[in-house]
Structure 1
Amino acid sequence: MTTAGVSVAAAIRAVLCERDVRSKVMNARKVARDWRLGRLAFAFDVAMPEAPGRPDAPELLLPARMPKRGKGSEHGRVALWHALAHIEFVAIDLALDMAGRFGAGMGEAFVSDFLSVAADEAMHFALLDRHLRAHGSHYGALPAHDGLWSAADDTRHDVAARLAVVPMVLEARGLDVTPAAIDRVRAAGDERGARILERILDDEIRHVRFGANHFDAAAKRLGEEPGNLWKSLVFRYFRGNLKPPFNDSARLMAGLSRELYSALA
């Protein structure tokens, strides 16, 4: 990786602090591209913000205060796409913060992997927002829950904990629930929506695999057995339970063995 005048940390921080939706999406992809092309220095001269910039809308609510979607109705379908768009929007910041907060200690390959994840999440969001607009809505039109970033905040001090909870639990859960969502969307006659979800599922397998691989490396540097360390960190930092059914085949492709996660289910 060649060096340049702007540090990768400064470029990441600028995107994390961005409040405008379109600018965050476009600049997340630009940072990943600039890093790939050697335009950013492997330097961490600025700290990451305590919390990312957020647009004025959507209104962020506690998960328990979120209104019911109303399954089967058009409003319910719009609410589903809005919820998915919000997940992908927050995932941009999760990936950027991973690279910017922990990249100095984890190395250039780590930065490359998670900047590529950020670019993927930005693309996913753009696809979902476009699909929302095809349904006569847009991102920000409905409230969204504010629980996703709490996992990043809880693990801001420990890269192993962040990797254990975010890619290996939260993103892995997407591998479990997305196939059923694809079937429901396709059954409702929304073939375009089904193809978007298939694309996201394929990409998320790779994202979880990045997390699992870097977690294994971090555990070995600590002299810990990866499986035991993962279980202890999930028990300490994950606010919830690992619930079946699991998409065992997708999880295996992502580097997660059934033996690992079934013990906590």
Structure 2
Amino acid sequence: MHCFNQGAIVETAPAAPAQCATAPASLRAQALAALQLADPDAKCAAALALHALAATLAPDPGEQLACAAALPGHPPRPQLTDHLSVPRRSPATREGRAALIHSIAHIEFNAINLALDAAWRFAGMPEAFYRDWLRVAADEARHFLLLRDHLRAQLASDYGDFAAHQGLWSMCEKTAHDITARMALVPRTLEARGLDATPLIQRKLRQVGTPDALAAVAILDTIVREEVDHVAIGNHWYQWLCARLGLDAAAHYAALVQRYQAPRPRPPLNEAARRAAGFSDAEIAWLQQG
């Protein structure tokens, strides 16, 4: 279960943790059940259904949830490895483009998990917090399905065909005890890096110029537009939490980056997208210091 401790939500061991119910009734418990699903299609379907359900079923912010199962659920493929062990391939070849789209699809699959985890894990937040992250989970599910369909239809490949890493989920685990750190270091740090990287990826795909490459550019247009909103949600709740705790958001963010050894963004920054997602000019200048 969770309890508040100095403004952060900290996990404490329940007296007798039970395995999560097969068909939980509450919205947040269903988010936890969806997080445990291993099959990508089933997880996507659950995320989309939860977003629709959130329009009529209120989350219970006071509900204390715990689960003894390993999180998150993931399929037997792709093989998960260290990020340094994932080979780099040129997008000039079809295999290279398949590997590139696969890596983005894996990020989107992990992003479903990240949003579902935020929705179930942290008690005591406003109802809007849970609805926001269930909406993000549904968006990420659609992104994953777009990319997987592209792999199958245009690149003779599928999700699971290439090795992948769990960098996003690793930070999720590190911040499981502290909601303020989670909002600071997952959506507004790691996911914000996608705002910077996507235009560069699109440029390379345009240079390739094949029909599948140009179709991928169009898919990424949709994804980056919606990811701005996802980063903005993380920014909003980070600022809200800092205000509640009486923290200086900029100073606390710098401290969290150092404490958790969060990666700094690689230049160039997508300044327009970051401003649209709620970053101030001062924050962007600090990030550009490297």
Aligned mate of 2:253, from 214, 222, 230: 230
Equivalent of 1:155 in 164, 171, 175: 175
**2:286 aligned partner:** 263
Moved more, 35-44 or 131-140: 35-44
**Equivalent residue number for residue 126 of structure 1:** 145
**Contact 1:34–1:40 under 8 Å retained in 2:** no
1:62 paired with 2:82, answer yes
Matched residues, number: 260
What do the CA deviations read for 1:157-194 (whole angstroms, capped 9, x no partner)? Answer: 11110011111111111111111212222332332211
**TM-score normalised by structure 2 residue count:** 0.85
| Number of the residue aligned with 1:210 | 233
RMSD between superposed Cα atoms in Å = 1.7
Structure 1 stretches lacking a partner, 5+ long: none
Report deviation, 1:8: 1.4
Of 31, 43, 46, which aligns to 1:27?
Answer: 46
CA distance in 2, matches of 1:39, 1:165: 27
Deviation, 1:261, is 4.0
Q: For structure 2, which runs of at least 5 residues remain unmatched after alignment?
A: 1-23
CA-CA distance at 1:263 after TM superposition: 2.1
Please give the alpha-carbon distance, in whole angstroms, between the structure 2 residues aligned to 1:232 and 1:39: 35
For the Cα contact (< 8 Å) 1:155–1:161, is it kept in 2?
Answer: yes
How far does residue 260 in structure 1 lie from its aligned partner after superposition?
Answer: 1.2
1:15 matched residue in structure 2: 34
* Higher normalized helix content (fraction of residues): 1
Q: Closer, same or farther in 2 for the Cα pair 1:247/1:25, shift >3 Å?
A: same
Q: 2:47 and 2:258 mapped to 1: Cα distance?
A: 32
Deviations 1:30-85 (A, max 9, x none): 11111122276556242255521110000000111112223421111110000000
1:138-168 Cα shifts (integer Å, max 9, x gaps):
0001111122210000000111100111111
2:40/2:75 contact within 8 Å kept: yes
**What letter matches 1:250 in structure 2?**
A
Q: Distance in 2 between matches of 1:50 and 1:165?
A: 22
- What TM-score, normalized by structure 1, do the two folds share? 0.93
- Structure 1 moving runs of 4+ over 6 Å: none
Q: Name which of 95, 98, 113 aligns with 1:78.
A: 98
Matched-pair contact (CA < 8 Å) for 2:29–2:65: yes
For residue 249 of structure 1, the aligned residue among 258, 263, 272 is 272
Contact 1:186–1:193 at 8 Å: present in 2 too? Answer: no
Report the alpha carbon displacement of residue 118 of structure 1 after superposing the two structures with TM. 0.3
Q: How does 1:177-216 map to 2 (within 5 A)?
A: 177-189=197-209, 190-216=213-239
Aligned-pair distance for 1:229? 1.2
Among residues 158, 162, 173, which one is paired with 1:138 in the alignment? Answer: 158
**Structure 2 vs 1, CA of residues 50 and 222 (structure 1 numbering), >3 Å: closer, same or farther?**
farther
Q: Which amino acid aligns with 1:236?
A: R
Distance in 1 between residues matched to 2:218 and 2:90, nearest whole Å: 23
Identity percentage of aligned residues:
41
Query: After the TM superposition, which residues 84-103 of structure 1 pair with which residues of structure 2 at under 5 Å, given as runs?
Result: 84-102=104-122
